[in-house]
Amino acid sequence: MSREDGGPAFPISDASDDLHYPNGQPVTSGADAINTRGMSLRDYFAGQAISQLWNGYDLKSEDSQLATAAAKAYALADAMLKERAK
């Protein structure tokens, strides 16, 4: 199942000439070229939401409570993407 992720949160040019490794070598293809695109807008929204949701959870809580907080963050991100698409 494919989920709408809003595209890249901080897009860069698709031209591979613009992408370089720290040593100056150009990134031309493969997984490294894809990974340079960074996080999706959905991930960015969820990351912003989780910073507020953590306030309601003890960070030493059970994994199930932390998973609930993460699920809520992504639910909020999905709602934001849906509203944004209107």
Q: Residue 64 falls within a domain, yes or no?
A: yes
| Pairwise pLDDT comparison (61 vs 2), residue with the higher score | 61
What pLDDT band is residue 19 in, cutting at 50, 70 and 90? Answer: low
Statement to judge: residues 24 and 58 lie in one domain: no
Mean pLDDT in residue range 7-16 = 65
Predicted local confidence at residue 2, as pLDDT:
46
Statement to judge: residues 71 and 57 lie in one domain: yes
Statement to judge: residues 30 and 57 lie in one domain: no
How far is Cα of residue 68 from the mean position of the Cα atoms in its chain?
A: 18
Q: Residue 4 falls within a domain, yes or no?
A: no
Task: Measure the CA angle with vertex 23, ends 19 and 27; round to 5°.
Answer: 30
Cα separation, 69 vs 49, in Å, equals 10
Statement to judge: residues 78 and 60 lie in one domain: yes
Q: Is the pLDDT of residue 82 over 60?
A: yes
Give the Å distances, CA to CA, from 76 to 6, 22, 33, 37, 57.
13, 35, 29, 23, 17
Q: Residue 1 falls within a domain, yes or no?
A: no
- Per-residue pLDDT reduced to its tens digit, 49-72: 988 887 766 666 677 778 888 899
Q: Which domain holds residue 27?
A: 10-38
33: burial class by Cβ within 10 Å (0-12, 13-18, 19+)? Answer: middle
Number of domain units in the chain? 2
